[in-house]
Amino acid sequence: MVPRLFIAIRPPHAIRNALLDAMQGVERARWQDDGQLHLTLRFLGETDHHRANDLASALASVSASPFALSVRGSGIFERKGTVHTLWAGVEPSEPLQRLQARIERVCQQVGFAPETRKFVPHITLARLNASAGPLAQFLARTGDLRFGEWTVDDFRLYESHLDPGGARYEPVVRYPLA
Q: How confident is the model at residue 148 (pLDDT cuts 50, 70, 90)?
A: confident
The number of distinct structural domains making up the chain is: 1
Query: Per-residue pLDDT for 165 more than 80?
Result: no
The predicted-structure confidence for 18-63, as pLDDT tens digits, reads as follows 999 999 999 999 999 999 999 999 999 999 999 999 999 999 999 9
Known catalytic residue: 38? yes
Pairwise CA distance, residues 69 & 176, whole Å? 16
Catalytic residue among 38, 50, 84, 161: 38
Catalytic residue among 13, 49, 84, 122: 122
Q: How confident is the model at residue 149 (pLDDT cuts 50, 70, 90)?
A: very high
Mean pLDDT of 121-126: 97
Give the residue numbers spanning the domain of 94.
4-176
β 39-46/4-9 pair status: antiparallel
Known catalytic residue: 50? no
Mean pLDDT of 161-168: 85
* DSSP for 69-85, written as a single string: E-EEEEEEEEETTEEEE
Pairwise CA distance, residues 121 & 66, whole Å? 17
Q: How confident is the model at residue 141 (pLDDT cuts 50, 70, 90)?
A: very high
pLDDT at 38 (0 to 100): 98
3-state SS record for 46-59: ECCHHHHHHHHHHH
The predicted-structure confidence for 72-112, as pLDDT tens digits, reads as follows 999 999 988 889 999 999 998 999 999 999 999 999 999 99
Pairwise CA distance, residues 27 & 129, whole Å? 11
CATH code, domain with 67:
3.90.1140.10
pLDDT at 174 (0 to 100): 98
